Amino acid sequence: MHSLPSYRFNIIRHFSTASRDVSFALYKMQDIFEIRVPRLQITRGLEKASPVTNAGKKDDANVDGTHKKVLRREIRKWWEGVSDHIDKIVR
């Protein structure tokens, strides 16, 4: 692959509206990596607790249930943060 002269990257474009200013700059990048993750699927009402017959398993289930509750809170707070950020962009 041939390299472009450095002056080709000295480009900055400025745009403005009544309430916003935006600047676009061009930078040379050596390596680009792409990460693909599975789509997050959240469903309601499908999770059912299974009966536990062993006392040890019941304790593990309580710990697992507590962990899930904490994880759900973290996920909900993250989505609330995303929603707040989008609200700021839209205004």
Q: Is 59 part of a structural domain of the chain? A: yes
Decide: 16 and 22 in contact? Cβ < 8 Å.
yes
Distance of alpha carbon 86 from alpha carbon 80, whole angstroms: 10
Residues whose CB is less than 8 angstroms from the CB of residue 11 and which lie 6 or more positions away in sequence, other chains included? 25, 26
pLDDT, tens digit (0-9, with 9 covering 90-100), for 54-71: 544 555 666 678 888 888
Boundaries of domain holding 64: 52-91
Counted domains in the chain: 1
Judge whether 10 lies within some domain: no
Q: Give the pLDDT confidence of 6-47 residue by residue, as tens digits.
A: 777 788 899 998 888 999 888 777 777 777 777 777 766 655
Decide if 89 is inside a domain: yes
Residue 57 lies in a domain: yes
For residue 36, is it within any domain? no
Q: Quick check: is 35 in a domain?
A: no
User: Is residue 84 domain-resident?
Assistant: yes
Query: What angle is formed at CA 54 by the lines to CA 50 and CA 56, rounded to 5 degrees?
Result: 105
Q: Is residue 82 part of a domain?
A: yes
Amino acid present at 12: I
